[in-house]
Structure 1
Amino acid sequence: MLTNLCLTDMETGYKVFRKTVLDSFVLKCNRFGFEPEFTCKVARNKFRIYEVPISYSGRGYEEGKKINWKDGVAALWFLFRFRFFN
């Protein structure tokens, strides 16, 4: 929506990329802000993104799940910020 990319899961945590991609911009965020910042900057620089299926079994909070609804709101804010202001 904000990046014109059709991704099924930006927050997957599994990413593979060439060093030249990472060297082409400066990342400022840590924690869960990394994912939207990286995605926006990759899209802005017109690098190709390919998704491949992975097997995933989600954790519950009692098993150590670390992301919650606040991280989702923060990700939307980061997407908006990096799309329009950076």
Structure 2
Amino acid sequence: MKPEVDHGKWSGDSAGKLIELTIEYAPEPPYKSGRPELADAETLVTANQFMTAEFAASAVLQAAQRLKTSSHRMAAISACSR
């Protein structure tokens, strides 16, 4: 006999659904939302908002790093040309 598992124990069912969809866990998803076509509308909206914010923040950090690297290169080139 399989023990009963409380899948939403730590953060609740909504968080479980969101995580399941975000990582596209679909072999036997406990919340049945591991793929966009399986997820309910509320989970899809939340996942879209979460992913948009996460990817936007990541893109900003990457752009800032490229600018920082470019600034250092430009300063080095400028110093060498004097």
What's the TM-score once normalised by structure 2's chain length?
Answer: 0.23
Q: Which has the higher contact order (CA 8 A, sep 6+)?
A: 1
Over alpha carbons, which structure has the higher Rg?
A: 2
> Higher helix proportion, which one?
2
What's the TM-score once normalised by structure 1's chain length?
Answer: 0.23
